[in-house]
Amino acid sequence: MAKQTKAGGARLEVAQSDRNGPKAIAARGRGDWASAAEQPGARREITTGFYDAELARLQIELAKLQEWIRHRGLKVAVIFEGRDAAGKGGTIKRITQSLNPRVCRVVALPTPTEREQTQWYFQRYVPHLPAAGEMVLFDRSWYNRAGVERVMGFCTDEEYLEFLRSCPEFERMLVRAGLILIKYWFSVSDEEQERRFRSRIDDPTKRWKLSPMDLESRRRWVEYSKAKDEMFAHTDIKQAPWYVVEADDKKRARLNCMRHLLSIIPYENLTPAPFELPPRQEAKGYVRPPKSDQTFVPEEY
């Protein structure tokens, strides 16, 4: 039996061969939410104090997961898709906040160049896939073709239909090659999206998040809904299913997504033991140059 770390804070002993079994998956990550989750329709109030404490605890678990990924040479790709202003970026920021950017990195590709538009559609994404010991978070992904490109007319009908045919096979190929592919769809209501758009308009520090494309997507709400339904019908496959995150409550969505991510990949605690800080070298024969020889940032605060 091996010690298994889980998001719930307690420890669970499971056999090496049982880590992906339904009982192990169900048991992981229960912790202090178990009693509320077991009551039908019950939802725990997310106070600021609870959110901050739970976020800090989950981030410690993510650091353990990161070390496990690095140690075992796992290749993990996590896709974040959803409506504009659904909270994808905020969740990604909380996941990566305490992680090593050399192990966990974010990919958010810009509009394809003229050259990239002539390539095989998936080609521009392939160089960003993880190598051994890496986790890559895609802030939007190859699913642009099934969403914005389809609705806005940036691809032809033939290109769109080919994507629906080839995407499941592309993802099955990645999984067969040993990549762990996790796909999240952040679902936000019409009313909440409008509230967030208005908040961005009113806040100069958030206004950059809005683009003419975002405003047009708001006008085409129903078309995006149809495109999402069609995308799910073709790409919600056994090897790489879609996981829907209810995102009207940002804090709840972040915690739920982080906790679910921890439950998907079995990991053990490989956190290094505390180090003993060695004494500083004595300054024998060293004289620091005068401060007047250096240029300092003005101390305005």
| Residue bearing the bigger pLDDT, 37 or 284 | 284
pLDDT > 70 fraction of the chain, expressed in percent and rounded: 86
**20-24, 151-155, 183-187, 206-210: the lowest-pLDDT one:** 20-24
Q: State pLDDT tens for residues 178-194.
A: 999 999 999 999 999 98
Number of domains in the chain: 2
Task: Please check whether residues 40 and 107 belong to one and the same domain.
Answer: no
**Which one is predicted more confidently, 28 or 95?**
95
Give the position of tokens 């053990």: 268
* 188 and 224 fall within a common domain: yes
Specify the pLDDT at position 19. 42
Residue 45 — very low, low, confident or very high, per pLDDT cuts 50/70/90?
Answer: confident
pLDDT higher at 210 or 131: 131
Confidence (pTM): 0.82
Residue 21 inside a domain? The answer is: yes
Q: What is the pLDDT of residue 42?
A: 59
Nearest-10 crossing angle of helices 250-264, 48-72: 30
pLDDT at 132: 98
163 and 120 both lie in a single domain: yes
Query: Is there a single domain that holds both residue 90 and residue 223?
Result: yes
Q: Please tell me the predicted confidence (pLDDT) of residue 272.
A: 84
Kindly report, residue by residue over 271-290, the tens digit of the pLDDT: 888 889 999 988 888 898 99
Say if residue 20 is in the same domain as residue 90: no
- Give a yes or no: residue 123 inside a domain: yes
Do 172 and 92 reside in the same domain of the chain? yes
| Residues above pLDDT 90, as percent of the chain | 71
pLDDT digits (tens, 9 = 90+) for 80-102: 999 989 999 999 999 999 999 99
Q: Quick one: pLDDT at residue 36?
A: 39
Is pLDDT at 3 greater than 80 in this prediction?
A: no
Q: Is residue 298 part of a domain?
A: no
Please tell me whether residues 34 and 80 are part of one structural domain: no
Instruction: Looking at the structure, tell me whether residues 235 and 97 fall in a common domain.
Output: yes
Question: Which whole number is the average pLDDT over 213-219?
Answer: 85
Instruction: Name the more confident of 35 and 259.
Output: 259
Is it the case that residue 26 has pLDDT exceeding 90? no
* Structural contact between residues 75 and 132, judged by C-beta atoms closer than 8 angstroms: yes
**Span 222-239, mean pLDDT?**
97
What's the pLDDT at 129? 98
Residue range of the domain that includes 263: 49-270
Domain membership flag for residue 285: no
Q: Are residues 37 and 124 in the same domain?
A: no
**Do 38 and 53 share a structural domain?**
no
Same domain, 6 and 33: yes
Specify if 85 maps to a domain: yes
Structural domain includes residue 53: yes
Question: How high does pLDDT run on average in the chain?
Answer: 87
Query: Is residue 250 scored above 80 in pLDDT?
Result: yes
Q: Of 255, 252, 254, 257, which Cα lies nearest the Cα of 242? A: 257
Given this model, what pLDDT does residue 283 score?
84
In a domain, 6, yes or no: yes
What is the structure's pLDDT at 268? Answer: 96
Sheet strand arrangement including 104-107 = 104-107, 134-139, 75-82, 179-187, 242-246
More confident residue, 201 or 145: 145
Q: pLDDT tens digits for 122-161? A: 999 999 999 999 999 999 999 999 999 999 999 999 999 9
Residue 224 pLDDT exceeds 80: yes
Whether 291 has a pLDDT exceeding 70, the answer reads yes
Residue 160 is part of a domain; what is its CATH number? 3.40.50.300
- The mean pLDDT value for 227-246 works out to 98
In this structure, the answer to whether residues 53 and 33 fall within a common structural domain is no
The answer to whether position 299 is within a domain reads: no
